[in-house]
């Protein structure tokens, strides 16, 4: 992977949980903390980020004028107003990396002066612990070095794949929203364990460790989920009985419907 770094400072609009994770990823990938500027409305949060990472709190305008690379880590509904406010202050040839769900590269390019490089990214919340999964799509003016830099720092927060922008809504449905599906399943397992007589403490501990162990097997065994499922499922055994219920409840169809709904909503946000 390239170790190219941007010329000048890197700016971040938005240092909530995801913005902070990305800031940490930039530092891990080799960007000096003193070359990271961030905008934040809350003074207490700004002081916390500055003290923790050594990055500098700047105004929205200062970041636009002084940074050659800018991360847009804002809510989709806030992106338009931000772009309108900074378009006159951006430096020529700047790179903007957008993390706003559903917002297309063309929408951002059309809101800004010609020649600005745009990369669209869909991250997910496990980036907060270095286990994120991100989809990256480059716009018209993006150079190989800019793309390599983006992938490099995102891989400091987990894994990152480069793909066509047309697939970004599918990435949103799978890995972007995926952690919430997982958490919902865990909630259901804990609740069912309690109904079967376990204490909340025991049901929670056993569920968490079971999920952790299963994920570890997927990650370390080199075997597919299908193979691992078959290995633990004895004919006419307890697991087979449980899986029969899930199958009769059309689990695969339900997951497909849920992911399609997420994909459709991502498209609506464009």
The DSSP code sequence of 193-205 is: HHHTT--HHHHHH
For the chain, percent helix, then strand, then coil, each to nearest 5? 60, 15, 30
Over the stretch 153-200, which tens digit does the pLDDT of each residue have?
A: 999 999 999 999 999 999 999 999 999 999 999 999 999 999 999 999
pLDDT at 243: 96
Q: Tell me the pLDDT tens digit for each residue of 10-22.
A: 999 999 999 999 9
| pLDDT reported for residue 230 | 96
Q: Which of 240, 93, 263 is nearest to 168 (CA)?
A: 263
Instruction: State pLDDT tens for residues 29-57.
Output: 999 999 999 999 999 999 999 999 999 99
Q: Match 């941007």 to its residue by tokens.
A: 6
- 81, containing H or E segment: helix 76-86
- Is 156:254 a contact under the CB 8 Å cutoff? no
Give, as one character, the DSSP assignment of residue 129.
G
| DSSP, res 90 | P
Task: Report residue 15 as tokens.
Answer: 């240092």
Average pLDDT, the chain: 95
Cβ count within 10 A of residue 29: 19
For the segment 72-99, what is each residue's pLDDT rounded down to a tens digit? Answer: 999 999 999 999 999 999 998 899 999 9
Domains contained in the chain, CATH given = 9-168 (3.40.50.720), 178-268 (1.10.3730.10)
How far is Cα 177 from Cα 53, in angstroms, rounded to an integer?
28
CB atoms < 10 A from the CB of 259, how many? Answer: 17
Q: 241-250: per-residue pLDDT in tens?
A: 999 999 999 9
What pTM, to 2 d.p., does this model score?
A: 0.89
Mean of pLDDT values over 1-30: 86
pLDDT for res 7? 72
Give me the residues paired with residue 166 across strands.
none
User: What is the per-residue pLDDT across 92-126, written as a single tens digit (0 to 9) for each?
Assistant: 889 999 999 889 999 999 999 999 999 999 999 99
Say how far apart CA 139 and CA 267 lie, in whole Å: 18
Q: Give the whole-angstrom CA distance, residue 128 versus residue 163.
A: 23
* pLDDT reading at 1 higher than 60: no
């Amino acid at each position: 992977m390239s170790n190219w770094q941007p010329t000048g400072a890197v700016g971040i609009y938005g240092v909530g949980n995801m913005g902070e994770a990305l800031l940490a990823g930039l530092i891990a990938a080799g960007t000096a903390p003193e070359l990271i500027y961030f905008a934040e409305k809350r003074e207490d949060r700004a002081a916390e980020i500055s003290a923790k990472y050594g990055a500098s709190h700047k105004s929205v305008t200062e970041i636009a004028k002084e940074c050659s690379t800018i991360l847009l880590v804002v809510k989709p509904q806030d992106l338009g107003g931000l772009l309108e406010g900074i378009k006159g202050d951006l430096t020529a040839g700047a790179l903007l990396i957008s993390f706003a769900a559903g917002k297309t590269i063309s929408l951002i390019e059309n809101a800004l002066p010609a020649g600005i490089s745009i990369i669209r990214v869909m991250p997910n919340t496990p980036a907060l612990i270095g286990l994120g999964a991100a989809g990256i799509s480059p716009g018209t003016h993006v150079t190989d070095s800019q793309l390599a830099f983006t992938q490099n720092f995102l891989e400091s927060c987990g894994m990152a794949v480069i793909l066509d922008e047309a697939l970004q809504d599918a990435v949103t449905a799978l890995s972007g929203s995926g952690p919430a599906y997982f958490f919902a399943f865990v909630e259901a397992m804990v609740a069912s364990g309690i109904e079967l007589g376990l204490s909340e403490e025991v049901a929670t501990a056993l569920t968490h460790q079971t999920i952790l162990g299963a994920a570890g097997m997927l990650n370390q065994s080199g075997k597919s989920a299908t193979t691992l499922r078959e290995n633990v499922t004895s004919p006419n055994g307890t697991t087979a009985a449980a899986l029969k219920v899930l199958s009769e409840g059309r689990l695969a169809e339900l997951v497909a419907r849920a992911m399609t709904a997420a994909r459709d909503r991502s498209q609506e946000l464009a």
